[in-house]
Amino acid sequence: MALLQMQRIYIYALKKDRKQILELLQRRGVVEVRKMLKEDKVFSRSDYSTVRQSLEKNIAIADESLAVLNNYVKEDHSLLASLQGRKELPVEAYDSFKEKYMPTIDKAKRIIELTKYIAECRAELSKLQTQVEIIKPWVNLDIPLNFKGTKYTAGFIGTLPRPYTAEEIYERLAQYMPLDVNIISASKDQTCIFVLCLKDHKDKVYEILREMDFALPSLSIDIPPAEKLIQLDQQMEDIQIQIDASIDEMVSYDEYRSDLKFLRDYDTMRLEKYEVLETLLQSKNVFIVTGFIPKKDGASLQEELTAKFTAYVEFEEPKKKDDVPVLYKNNGFSAPLESVVNSYSPPGKGEIDPTTVMSLFYYALFGLMLSDAGYGLLMVIACGVGLIKFRDTIEESMRKTLKMYLYCGIATIFWGIMFSSYFGDIIDIVAKIYFRATDLPIIPPLWFYPVEKPMLMLTFSMAVGLLHLLTGLGMKGYQLIRRKDIKGFIYDVVFWYAILISSAILLLSMKMVTDILGISPNIPDTAVDAAKIAFVAAALGIVLTNGRESRNPFKRFLKGLYALYGLSGYLSDVLSYSRLLALGLATGIIGTVVNQMASMLAKGVVGTIFFIIIVVVGHLLNMAINLLGAYVHTNRLQYVEFFGKFYEGGGNIFKPFSIKTKYYKIKESS
Amino acid sequence: MKEFLNESGVFFAVLGAALAALVPGIASAKGVSKGGITAAGIITEDPSLFAKALILQLLPGTQGIYGLIIAFITFAQIGVLGGSSDISLVKGLLYLAACMPMTIVGYASAIRQANAAIASMGVLAKRPDQFGKSMIFPAMVETYAILALLISILAVSGVSGINI
């Protein structure tokens, strides 16, 4: 339960070592660089925005080329690949990349160019295809489409928008004989015709044809259609060859994929270096790095820097106004939950890290909500296999996530055994159907069946809730004591403890309440009397003190009264834990429903196959839905009920100047 | 007449159970589909948000499941799933009443929760890092469905103990 202590670090060094020092700092990744000193006549900051922009452009090019490449050559991307983590490369690979740098950028650019070219070719291809579609009906015509006539004749080539026979057209044009009508082709949408008449009749014939909705072809070509078709085919073939060649070239770049990835990482690293460079104060020969470093890493970094370079390193305690970054220090059991705290908010100034205390409740509440030993076992197996199989390469954040679900799974198994839920009641069902067992249940619950005693489960849920809330209040007390606010501790924590515990005792001494809950706690009378006195005293104390920030005594009293009304808030908080019952029952009951549906079919071999299918699919579905429910509602109980009592957050996570690559990590040669 | 009164209760009990499965189920389907439409929009912009958008989409789906639980418990109590189902008219009506909290609150809360979930998807689209917080807003709505579920469970199991 702790945060690492931070201190300010100042590194003064010579400019000639700047590149090496920055690269060293980046690889160590222990310093968060911040602006701490002001510019003056000697020291000033420089602007590297043009370099940064070009690096950003390169990163974008690398990303785009990789995405394009992936469209042509699929990278095998199995489900487990995300567990694999980044590949490790030695430092030399980083240093030697300089020679490959420009060629790789050219390759990336070429890949983007190629994809544009392929797209253009494909567009051209489809344009030609349309032309082919237009010309096809005319293929039997042996004169060019734009034929208008000879010295004494006029020709009309075009379409009529419905089927016609030659006779019909002859009939319409009968008075302008002699003429020649050819039907080139006819379909149900159009008739392609060629009409030849004397030049003298040209206008009249055209007029009649117009009345029949005659239209000229949308293409005008001066060679016979059949020849044009051959030409078009040839063109399309040429384009197709070019497309194929381009795709082949594209595919050949597959072997440079790792270079492209490295390019992206390489420039990402350089970009961050330049971003840091912009914050540095530099004079003609000297530069200063300022920032925060965890105290534990200070000495070793100082040693390394002063041994390798002409440099001076200085430490200083953080100033009061400093917004000190937060770095957690937790054991393996609690560390997985740091991300849960982070997604609420990292600890703010002067706050303690709630992760450890939260972790106990988190796993327990999660288990209570899922509460099925079978599902828990599946979680443990899945996470365990992932953790063991990829133990060397897995990323730290993924490792923590898997660990979190591993522990949640263990808690789930525990509660599953307490309530005897193994994939619902699958053991009993199988025993009954296939082994004719009569002595059910096979495995009785270690504690009780929540379905049979929902009230007991409700009481238990609320008791867990009260414990959780009191722990939260205790954390507040601890925090107040740490700040040496003894008054606050007594007024805001001790009084509330007294009033909460005494009201719990008073409620439990009422017959009505115990009847509802179905328990008989047998509280001795002296305890009840003591609780009465404590309740009144604490209530008075709260009314008198909890409005203490107001000076006006009347206002103070009213605020105190209002604070006492906060007791109802605790009531609703405790009731909120009834979701432990509701979600726990949900898992068990749906599991039972699945098993019952399956058991209805379980007769003979075919029935058994259906039985297995229904059980597997049904339970996977149930597990998925309830995992989601358990995750969301455990978070809610932590965020709203627990954190609401003491935790505000608002801190900043420690963001060291480090290597934040996507594909590779640099392996240190020690 | 007396016989009728002694045996007709099962109809109302089954009616109550059916409503508990039916009404919140409809609302959950509505809510999940609304969420799905928004989630699909987010995925077109950033496919990596699929898992998170899916979680938000599924949040209003639980009411249907709670309804199913109530229906199932009621069936088990009245012996529809096996055993005798002689239930007096009064008792049948009591079962019907006991199913009502889940039926009504389940319907209302699923749709309200879907609205909150969609708003949270807006947060997800703009600031994926704030997913943890955005998830809590729809979860707050669910509290009331859970309270209704609780009352319905207690009422259904309570009614079976009453001797009328």
- The pLDDT of residue B83 is 64
Characterize the bridge pairing of strands A6-14 and A286-294: antiparallel
Chain A positions in Cβ-Cβ contact with residue B135 (cut-off 8 Å): 632, 635
CB contact under 8 A, B69 and A589: yes
Cβ separation of A629 and B154 shorter than 8 Å? Answer: no
The one-letter amino acid code at A476 reads K
**What's the start-to-end Cα distance of chain A, in Å?**
32
What is chain A's mean pLDDT, rounded?
88
Q: Say how many CB pairs under 8 Å bridge A and B.
A: 73
Predicted confidence at residue A396, as pLDDT, reads 86
Q: Please give the residue that has the higher pLDDT: either A430 or B105.
A: B105
Q: How far apart are CA A305 and CA A411, in angstroms?
A: 47
Q: Is A398 on the interface with B (CB under 8 A)?
A: no
Pick A246 or A663 by higher pLDDT. Answer: A246
B149 touching A, CB under 8 A? Answer: yes
Task: Give me the interface pTM, i.e. the ipTM.
Answer: 0.80
Q: CA-CA distance, A419 to A445, in Å (whole number)?
A: 5
Q: Which residues of B touch A589 (CB under 8 A)?
A: 68-69, 72-73
DSSP A76: P
- Residue A670, pLDDT score: 47
Q: In this predicted structure, what is the pLDDT of residue B164?
A: 73
Q: What is chain B's length?
A: 164
CB contact under 8 A, B55 and A582: no
Distance CA A208, CA B42 (A): 59
Which residues of A fall within a CB distance of 8 Å from B154?
454-455, 458
Host H or E run for residue A158: strand A153-160
Radius of gyration in angstroms for the set of CA atoms belonging to chain A, rounded to a whole number: 40
CB contact under 8 A, A625 and B157: no
Instruction: Answer whether A464 touches B (CB < 8 Å).
Output: no
pLDDT at A53 over 60: yes
Shortest distance between the Cα of B9 and any Cα of chain A, in A, equals 23
Handedness of CA A478, A482, A483, A488 (dihedral sign): positive
* pLDDT tens for each residue of A624-642: 989 988 998 899 899 989 9
User: A9 or A549, which is more confident?
Assistant: A9
Q: Report d(CA A599, CA A592) in Å as an integer.
A: 10
Integer Cα distance of B27 and B33 in angstroms: 10
| Kind of pairing between the strands at A286-294 and A32-33 | antiparallel
Alpha-helical segments (H) within chain B: 2-7, 9-45, 50-58, 62-78, 89-126, 131-161
- C-alpha–C-alpha distance, residues B117 and B138, integer Å: 5
Helix then strand then coil, in percent of chain B rounded to 5, is 90, 0, 10
Number of alpha carbons in the 13 Å side-chain half-sphere of residue A220:
6
Q: What is the mean pLDDT of residues A369-374?
A: 93
Query: Per-residue pLDDT averaged across A296-323, rounded?
Result: 89
User: What's the rounded mean pLDDT across residues A298-320?
Assistant: 89
pLDDT over 70 for what percent of chain A? 98
Query: What is the distance between the alpha carbons of residues A528 and A506, in angstroms, rounded to a whole number?
Result: 6
- Cβ atoms of A6 and A318 within 8 Å: the answer is yes
Considering only A106-110, A291-295, A486-490, B2-6, which range has the smallest mean pLDDT?
Answer: B2-6
The per-residue pLDDT of chain B, averaged, comes to 88
Does A126 score more than 80 pLDDT? yes
B14/B78 Cα distance (integer angstroms): 8
B-chain residues within 8 Å CB-CB of A622?
none
Mean pLDDT within A140-162: 85
Answer yes or no: is pLDDT of A552 > 80: yes
How far apart, in whole angstroms, are the C-alpha atoms of residue A32 and residue A118? 46
Are residues B62 and A625, on separate chains, in Cβ contact within 8 Å?
yes
| Pure H helices in A546-657 | 553-576, 578-601, 604-636, 643-646
Q: Please report which confidence band the pLDDT of residue A79 belongs to, taking 50, 70 and 90 as the band edges.
A: low
- The answer to whether B144 faces chain A, any CB pair under 8 Å, is no
Query: Does A388 or A602 have the greater pLDDT score?
Result: A388
Q: How far is B3 from chain A (nearest CA, A)?
A: 31
Asked if residue A61 lies in contact with residue A112, where contact means CB atoms within 8 angstroms, the answer is yes
pLDDT digits 0-9 by tens, A585-599: 889 888 988 998 898
Minimum distance, in Å, between the CA of residue B140 and any CA atom of chain A: 8
CA distance B150 to B134: 26
- Chain A CA closest to residue B55: A628
Higher pLDDT, A463 or A145: A463
- In chain A, whose CA is at the least distance from the CA of B65? A586
Tell me the average pLDDT across A276-292.
Answer: 90
What pLDDT score was predicted for residue A668?
A: 63
* Most confident listed range (A131-135, A204-208, A279-283, B117-121): B117-121
Q: Is A669's pLDDT higher than 70?
A: no
Q: Which residues of B touch A636 (CB under 8 A)?
A: 136, 139-140
Any idea which residue has 């969301």 for tokens? A632
Cα–Cα dist A283/A410, whole Å: 59
Note whether B73 contacts A: Cβ–Cβ < 8 A. Answer: yes
Q: Are B60 and B31 in contact (CB under 8 A)?
A: yes
Question: For residue A314, what are the β-bridge partners?
Answer: A10
Reported as a single tens digit per residue, the pLDDT across B57-103 is: 988 988 998 898 899 888 888 887 666 667 888 899 999 999 999 99
Residue B102: the pLDDT is: 95
Q: What is the mean pLDDT of residues A53-62?
A: 92
pLDDT average, residue stretch A110-124? 93
Test A628 with B58 for CB contact under 8 angstroms: yes
Largest Cα–Cα separation, chain A: 131
B150, B124, B148: which is closest to B136 by C-alpha?
Answer: B124
Quick check: A454 and B153 CB within 8 A?
Answer: yes
High-pLDDT (> 90) share of chain B, %: 47
Whether residue A604 is predicted with pLDDT greater than 80 in this model: the reply is: yes
Q: Do B144 and A572 touch, CB atoms closer than 8 A?
A: no
Which string of b and e fits A605-630 if b means at least 16 CB within 10 Å? eeeeebbeebbeebbeebbebbbbbb
For the cut 80, the answer to whether the pLDDT of residue B10 exceeds it is: yes
Can you give the pLDDT at residue A78?
A: 64
Query: Nearest-CA neighbor of A408 among A447, A457, A375?
Result: A375
Distance of alpha carbon B71 from its chain centroid, rounded?
Answer: 10
For the stretch A467-501, what's the b/e string if a residue is b when 16 or more beta carbons lie within 10 angstroms of its beta carbon?
ebbbbbbebbbbbbeeeeeeebbebbbebbebbbb
Percent of chain A with pLDDT over 90: 32
Both structure tokens of A4: 């690492």
